[in-house]
Amino acid sequence: MMVDWDGIIDREGPAVWRTVCRLLTNRADAEECFQETFLAALELWKRERVRDEHAALRRLATARAIDRLRQRYREASRTSPAGAPPADPAPAPPDRAAADELAEHLRTALAELPDQQADVFCLHCLDGLSYREVADAIGVSVDHVGVLLHRARAKLRVALADRGPVAREVTR
């Protein structure tokens, strides 16, 4: 069966692009992750009948972006004492600097979460998928999605509280 990838990229490409861009600050990484997501989708479409292409692509994009995020943090921790991944050289506007730093802290914390917890948090809290959609996308029950999300949020709260003063400052 031929799959209309042109149409799928038209429909789902922007959402996938947003997902990878919000998790990966490096543009080259985001582009590579975008392509990897659709190549993985090609294999998935061959293997099984995909009922919800929107949720499936978000899940593939999130999982690959989290992987790439972890890889970048590992590389950065080896080369730089600060442990921050290389970001695009484009400077952020001054009024977004604090929010960007807070987002960066959350990225760092997400990279330290277990796979399923990170996936569930991103799919529900960032991409806006319902519990049911998340459960179908990662192949667990709705109740288990709730448990995974609860644990993820608990760990992220601790991680953010333990992070730098910027987060506290913005919070204040």
Alpha-carbon span 17 to 55, nearest angstrom: 14
Minimal distance in Å, beta carbon 74 to another protein?
A: 20
User: In this structure, are residues 110 and 156 in contact, taking their beta carbons and an 8 Å threshold?
Assistant: yes
- Out of 115, 142, 162, 164, the residue judged to bind another protein by CB under 8 A: 162
Alpha-carbon span 156 to 109, nearest angstrom: 6
Alpha-carbon span 57 to 8, nearest angstrom: 10
Q: How far apart are the first and last CA of the chain?
A: 56
Stretch that binds another protein, among 52-60, 72-80, 132-140, 158-166 (CB under 8 A): 158-166
Told to check if 115 binds another protein by CB under 8 A, we report no
Told to check if 75 binds another protein by CB under 8 A, we report no
Give the position of tokens 């709705």: 142
**What is the binding site for another protein (CB under 8 A)?**
5-6, 9, 13-14, 16-19, 21-23, 25, 27, 30-31, 34-35, 38-39, 42, 46, 99-100, 102-103, 105-107, 125-126, 150-151, 153-158, 160-162, 167-168, 170-171
